[in-house]
Structure 1
Amino acid sequence: MKNFKYILGLMIIFGSFLQSCQDDDQEFGEVMAPSNLSIEATVVNADAENPYGDGSGQVQFEASADNAINYKFTFGDNTTTNVSNGNVVHSFTSTGINEYVVTVIATGTAGTASSMTTSVTVFSEFDDPETKSLLTGDDTKTWYVAAGLNAHLGVGPVETATPDYYTAAPFEKSGNPCFYNEMITLSLDENNSIVFNHDNNGATFFNADFLSVGGGGGSEDQCLPFDTSGEKFLNLASAQSGFGEDVSTGTQMMISDGGFMSYYIGTSTYEILEITDDFLYVRGIPSSNPALAWYVKFTTDPRGGGSGNDSAEGKELVSEFGNLVWEEEFDGDALDTDSWNFETGNGDNGWGNNESQYYIADNAVVNDGTLKINAIAESTNGFDYSSARLTTKDKQEFEYGRIEVRAQLPSAGGTWPAIWMLGSNFAEVGWPASGEIDIMEHVGNDLGEVLGTLHYPGNSGGEGVSKGTEVENVASEFHTYTLEWNADHILFAVDNVIFHEFENNASTPFNQPFFLILNVAMGGNLGGTIDPNFTQDTMEVEFVKVYQ
């Protein structure tokens, strides 16, 4: 585990010199070297009690110069970085008291430059032996781009920890094979330092903003010849994003001498969001656009398959889908029949489950910002209970994506609320050939146990592939029930924590459009015995959202 010892002594001694050079190459127009270069260094989180900071080893540098278009920082610890605005926070990670010579080179037109050097003495301690061991296997470990996983490459806003703008499907970048042919080997030297070796087989996959670095041009990402050979070092430090433990490990990697993690975005610093023995998920911010964050997944499997998601259960769901394509927030005082259908009756043999209710439209009520599906003990068309069942069949159907439904469930014995989906070809092929995805099922006779289940040929009825989780206050509070669904896996989550994962493949019926169903059944094969004192109970739905 990480150990932060809040002892940090920092003495900044400014001994600087200024130099500049010019090249009167008329191709660039007027050549102007940066001038008036200055640099300030501030200990992060310093206060009266901790004048030298909070123990993270972080120092904020602010450089400025007239006519500068880029600033390169060389920190004296085998790491460098380039920024356009001159501002950077750097974590010094060597334990004990160490002096570093920090050099800033401000670059202007035609390559003209001015530089300033500052002496920085730092005493800090940061130790994350667990991450170091997982990265290196306590000796040597080789990592490959997890090409076979969804969202192995993605991009999103820097404020969040999810690639909301774009994610790559498995092997989507096969047209740029250099990306999937790279190997990163991490090992420990005699000083227990992490040695970084990057074998890209002579070509690297460049982000479009950095094609000039590889000698290319154009407006699209592409593979370009690029030399990544040579031994570098990888330092671990406290991450600066401020994301909590449920999102990030809290540790970042800093690679020396311009090293990078396979996809070139002009940074050598990567926050580790997740790491296991065979799975590594990192986040880097490109120097060209600090408002973006790029994400890359790695695996120890040379085929790019990885098994990092095999243990997804119990983890926070980091979605690969960020485009909201449909939402229903139940505003107003009536159901939107452009999106929803009422299904009525008792179906064939209680909808095939020996259910005891008769569905009518009147039991679905929209008011006060929610949909209320009411199950009532009353004589209705020859049955002792009434309820409601709604579908989006032929109106809102989806193939893959993230489906979120926020609901508060009934608790009475015999109630059986469900949030589920059927394949849109149900009328043609029947059940279970159409496939069924039960995002949430709950029975009042087993209060708090929520199930996520899949039914399909060979695994239908009581043989469905199912797993449950305990949800506190399931009937007194709203919870968000989520399905994350693609061609490779189907994830079930409650309040964004995964409790069930299914490995999807081309042989299942879960690779076609599905429609949504909301209902509350009474009794039946799963609902069980109905409380003889039952009068009425309700499933209340706050919203339904679909992302793709």
Structure 2
Amino acid sequence: MAENWSQIRIQPCEFHITVKKYNKSLHMKHIIYSSIFLLLSLGCYSCQEEDISVGEIIAPSNILITASIVGTDADNPYGDGSGTVHFSAEADNALSYQFVYNDEVVASPSGAKTYNFSNTGLHTYTVTVVAIGTGGLSSSASVEVEVLALYEPPADLVTMLTANSSREWRIKAEAAGHFGLGPVGGSIIAEWFSAPAFDKAATGMYDDRFIFNTDGTFTHKTQGTIFGKAAIIDVDLGPTTEDTPNDCCQEYENYPLEEYSTTWSLSAPGGVETLSLSGIGFTGFYIGGSHQYEIFRRSANEMVLRTTDWNNEFDWWFVLTTEEEAADNEVDVKYTNLIWSDEFDANGAPNPAKWTYDEGVGNNGWGNGESQFYTRRPDNVVVEDGSLKITAKAESYEGNEYTSARIKTQGLFGFTYGRVDVRAKLPEGGGTWPAIWMLGANFDTVGWPATGEIDIMEHVGNNPNVVQAAIHTPSSSGATVNVGSITLSDVAAEFHVYSVNWSEDEISFLVDDELYYTYKPGTKDANTWPFNADQFIILNVAMGGNLGGTIDAAFSESIMEIDYVRVYQ
């Protein structure tokens, strides 16, 4: 057992025991100390001399509990009515803490715990803190808090969650951004990491179902395993020999845990609708902490949740839905009438009856911090040998280090509902960011994102062969969660057909006629849905920027080659 403690040396009638700092969980510490006491009791009862050097084993003392009621001031001595109280505990010689309320024990290594007391009115609650020290010795103390709870959750929120206890929620695995993380208190969904669709398929996550019963109980159907941080699972649930933490992040991907039940409640600290789960209750990925989830956004069948992990390091994001994943892989409307196309048969500049240009550097690199200067020079955009070629180059031009081209049908052609097929071969190289996309024809009058944006295809050279599609609306713009991706094998070497199928009820994205992402407008889109009016088509290759990232210092040039653009209704 090659751990971080040195030795136990035993001689007849004499013990010399040295225990160095042990960095495993509290459970293992208990085993070590229990073993030491067993050795002492078995080996030294008849000795006349004892020399024991174990270090002091002292029960924690001087427990100090601080209770901070949210919203307390001179006019509101019992809080703002949310019923939320933050507790913190400290004690001499304590290694860890447990909080006990209403016969429920919750471990908290840091000594911090938040409760949402939801009984309406002014009530007194007793919370007990157990401080645990060396050898498992413990001491406890209690505190009483008088808290006002006035919050009555909106009826539509309760109905959304429960639907009379008949609905089951799940992680929306098929949507990019269904799981991710960002800074504590951040407002951008999954700002630092956004999981692609089905990214965690190998974990005990996607089969889980969450039921919010009308009687206040929460049922978590786990299918036998869960996904979560190993360090906090070891403390809260206990170590396991049935799963090994992964190398990248020290996570249990399939920690054994059967279906369980606990309770749920709603509050609104600071005016933010918040869902609280008691005990070990969680959704998607176990990170301990307060088990409180801010409802960042919600509709009748979907909600975006944000919660802070146990050590206050990250905010974690989850998208939950009640809709089961579509069983088929078909678009809802099939469009077959060709209404507009460019086959790029005539050599020279792009057809001026069909295409116009964006030129220059735009505002802040076209709003994305891009590094290229867009031109209409043949060096950057030309039709030859039956295809359109947009070339991004590393060259000094008008004070910029890169050139490229962006052409569009704005003012020449637009349409509402239909299918677009673009057969293209993509550029390669770190920093390249080719895009096939659309904007609302009213862009000049209403601006972005009110105009709506449909990204048929985007590719990042720093993440080769991963093609993504997205939509941007006032409900989700910028780092939108409305995004899907697919991994191909040869986007820079072979042509593929990139498509969008746009109907009144859904927008679907395909590659080589394979459907990989569909978005259907929900309640949140009711007043901001822009995709019921004309859009125009844009083709470009950007360099760097928010999505393109770092440009390879060795980059010289690369081409996006387009065989045809076809629009059907």
**Same fold (TM > 0.5):** yes
**Residue type at the aligned position of 2:208:** E
Evaluate the alpha carbon distance shift between residue 482 and residue 491 of structure 1 in structure 2; reply closer, same or farther with a 3 A threshold. farther
Question: Within 5 Å, which residues of 2 pair with 1:364-443?
Answer: 364=360, 393=392, 425=425, 437-440=436-439
Distance 1:500 1:439, change over 3 A: farther
Partner residue of 1:25 out of 11, 34, 52: 34
Q: Give the secondary structure class of the aligned counterpart of 1:140.
A: coil
Q: Which of 307, 311, 315 pairs up with 1:284?
A: 307
* Secondary structure of the corresponding residue to residue 135 of structure 1: helix
Distance 1:154 1:491, change over 3 A: farther
- The answer as to 2:297 corresponding to 1:274 is yes
How far residue 46 of structure 1 moved from its aligned partner, in angstroms, is 2.4
State the Cα distance separating 1:236 from its structure 2 match.
0.8
1:257 to 2:282 alignment: no
Quick check: 1:208 aligned with 2:209?
A: no
The reply on whether 1:504 has 2:513 as its aligned counterpart is no
Does the 8 Å CA contact 2:181/2:190 hold for their aligned counterparts? Answer: yes
Aligned-residue identity in percent: 24
Q: Which residue of 2 aligns with 1:84?
A: 109
Question: How far apart, in 2, do the equivalents of 1:491 and 1:80 lie?
Answer: 54
Q: Which amino acid aligns with 1:281?
A: V
Alignment correspondent of 2:192: 165
Determine helix, strand or coil for the equivalent of 2:160: helix
Quick one: which amino acid aligns to residue 231 of structure 2? D
Residue by residue, what CA displacement relative to the aligned partner does 1:293-351 show, whole Å, maximum 9, x if unpaired? 22233222344889xxx9xxxxxxxxxxxxxxxxxxxxxxxxxxxxxxxxxxxx86972
Say whether the 8 Å CA contact 1:204–1:223 is kept in structure 2: yes
Q: Does residue 171 of structure 2 align to residue 140 of structure 1?
A: no
Distance 1:369 1:174 in 2: 37
Measured in 1, the distance between the counterparts of 2:256 and 2:294 equals 27
**What SS class does the counterpart of residue 65 from structure 2 fall into?**
strand
Normalising to structure 1: TM-score of the pair? 0.56
Indicate yes or no: 2:316 matched with 1:294.
yes
Could you tell me which of 214, 223, 234 is aligned with 2:264?
234
Q: Match for 2:115: what amino acid? A: H
- Alignment correspondent of 2:93: 67
Aligned residue in 1 for 2:50? none
Give the Cα–Cα distance (whole angstroms) in 2 for the partners of residues 466 and 184 of structure 1: 28
Q: 1:130 aligns with which of 156, 164, 178?
A: 156
Residue type matched to 1:95 in 2? T
Q: Deviations over 1:22-50 (max 9, x none)?
A: 99536696434322111122333322233
Whole-angstrom CA distance in 2 between matches of 1:86 and 1:195: 26
Give the 3 Å change call, closer, same or farther, for CA 173–447 of structure 1 in structure 2. Answer: closer
CA contact (8 A) 2:177 2:197 kept: yes
- Give the residue type in structure 2 aligned to 1:285: T
| 1:229-258 superposed Cα distances (whole Å, 9 cap, x missing partner) | 3x4221111246x8xxxxxxx222222232
Distance of aligned partners of 1:395 and 1:110 in 2 relative to their CA distance in 1, 3 Å threshold: farther
Amino acid at match of 1:354: A
In 1, are the aligned partners of 2:304 and 2:319 still within 8 Å (CA)? yes
Separation in structure 1 between the aligned mates of residue 364 and residue 173 of structure 2, nearest angstrom = 47
Residue aligning to 1:113:
138
CA distance in 1, matches of 2:481, 2:89: 47
Q: Which residue of 2 aligns with 1:486?
A: 484
Which secondary structure does the structure 2 equivalent of 1:148 belong to? coil
Letter in 2 for 1:164: E
CA contact (8 A) 2:456 2:499 kept: no
- 1:102 is displaced (CA, Å) by 0.9
- Unmatched runs of 5 consecutive residues or more in structure 2: 1-29, 38-53, 247-251, 333-345, 367-371, 377-387, 396-409, 415-420, 428-433, 458-468, 488-497, 517-533, 537-541, 550-569
> Once superposed, what is the RMSD of the aligned Cα atoms?
5.3
Classify the secondary structure of the residue corresponding to 1:188: coil
Does the C-alpha gap of structure 1 residues 545 and 239 become closer, same or farther in structure 2, counting only changes over 3 Å?
same
- Distance in 2 of aligned mates of 1:443 and 1:175: 44
Displacement of 1:125 in angstroms is 0.8
User: Which residue of 254, 258, 262 corresponds with 1:223?
Assistant: 254
Change (3 A) 1:454 1:259: closer
The 2-side partners of 1:56 and 1:467 are apart by: 36
Instruction: Provide the rounded CA distance (Å) in 1 between the counterparts of 2:105 and 2:283.
Output: 15
**Which amino acid is 1:438 matched to?**
W
Tell me the TM-score normalised to structure 2 length.
0.54
Preserved CA contact (<8 Å) 1:416 1:441:
no
Size of the aligned set, in residue pairs, is 386
- Provide the secondary structure at the position in 2 that maps to 1:115: strand
CA pair 483-98 structure 1, distance change in 2 beyond 3 A: closer
The answer (yes or no) to whether the contact 1:349–1:355 under 8 Å persists in 2 is no
Residue 125 and residue 392 in structure 1: after superposition, are their counterparts in 2 closer, same or farther (change >3 A)?
Answer: farther
Q: Is the 8 A contact 1:415 1:444 kept in 2?
A: no
| CA distance in structure 2 between the partners assigned to 1:113 and 1:180 by the alignment | 39
Instruction: Determine the C-alpha separation between the residues in 2 that align with 1:74 and 1:34.
Output: 17
Contact kept? 1:148, 1:304, Cα under 8 Å: no
Residue from 182, 187, 192 that aligns with 1:156? 182
The residue type paired with residue 257 of structure 2 is F
Q: What amino acid is the match of 2:425?
A: N
Q: Is the 8 A contact 1:95 1:123 kept in 2?
A: yes
Other-structure match for 1:351: 350
Helix, strand or coil at the partner of 1:351: coil
Are the equivalent residues in 2 in contact too, given 1:414–1:444 (CA < 8 A)? no
| Distance apart, 1:422 and its partner CA | 7.8
Give the distance between the partners of 2:79 and 2:173, measured in 1 at CA: 41
CA offsets 1:366-415 (integer angstroms, 9 cap, x no match)? 9999988799xxxxxxxxxxxxx99664779xxxxxxxxxxxxxxxx979
Cα deviation, residue 207, structure 1:
2.3
Segments of 5+ residues of structure 1 without an aligned counterpart are 1-21, 243-249, 311-346, 376-388, 397-412, 428-434, 457-464, 471-478, 493-498, 512-524, 528-540
